[in-house]
Amino acid sequence: MAVYVVDHPLVRHKLGILRMESTSTREFRTVANEVARLLIYEATKNFRTEKHVVRGWAGPVEVEAISGKKVTVVPILRAGLGLMDGVLDMIPGAKISVVGLYRNESTLEPVEYYVKLAKDLEQRLAIILDPMLATGGSLIAAIDLLKKHGCRRICSLNLVCAPEGIARVEAAHPDVDIYTAAIDDHLNENGYIIPGLGDAGDRIFGTK
């Protein structure tokens, strides 16, 4: 497993806005999607292309097109929806597989409440979206589910990760790569990432 921290001035700047307590719901949503665009840019860097010839303004010209990549984007409800628009801006044809999970607040274990997956998962790259990788329980549950349904190629986009969660995901699913804007310091006693962003779902949906 590889963890790619997308280290770029735009990402660092935008992450700073997300960390600020005073950032409004509206701005948080906008900036989360902007960071998602930058993470998906990195996550798709190994997509293969095929050359072909098209008619250009000055005659035939050789161009490239992405070859054979069937993708499903997998937002983990609900906070993962906060990254979806940014990712679909870049991969507009992707099918969407929705996985509804929430963390039980006392056990911190993920609880599944809704699943609707794309067809042909065995032929697709699944790109899981969730702003926060904290204990790793939600991401592991989502990967378990996708694999159970035949998916063989999976990566994850997370705005912020805790080292503890990365270690758990790596132990359970060493074949899954993670693309993130930051690996933070630690989890607090309530399973929140420090310094983190706070409750990402609440910040994206404007609930508290």
Q: What is the per-residue binding string for ligand URA in 69-88, x denoting contact by CB under 6 A? A: ----------x---------
Told to check if 37 binds ligand PRP by CB under 6 A, we report no
Instruction: Say whether 199 is catalytic.
Output: yes
Q: DSSP letter string over 146-205?
A: HHHTT--EEEEEEEEE-HHHHHHHHHH-TT-EEEEEEE-SEE-TTS-EESS-S-HHHHHH
**Interaction partner, residue 81 (ligand PRP, ligand URA, none; CB < 5-8 Å by kind):** none
**Interaction partner, residue 192 (ligand URA, ligand PRP, none; CB < 5-8 Å by kind):** ligand URA
**Interaction partner, residue 76 (ligand URA, ligand PRP, none; CB < 5-8 Å by kind):** ligand PRP
Q: What is the per-residue binding string for ligand PRP in 105-144, x denoting contact by CB under 6 A? A: ---x-x-------------------xxxxxxxxxx-----
- The H or E element containing residue 19 is helix 9-19
Q: Say which DSSP state 134 is in.
A: S
Q: CA of 125: how far to CAs of 21, 61, 147, 203, in Å?
A: 35, 30, 11, 29
Instruction: Say whether 177 is catalytic.
Output: no
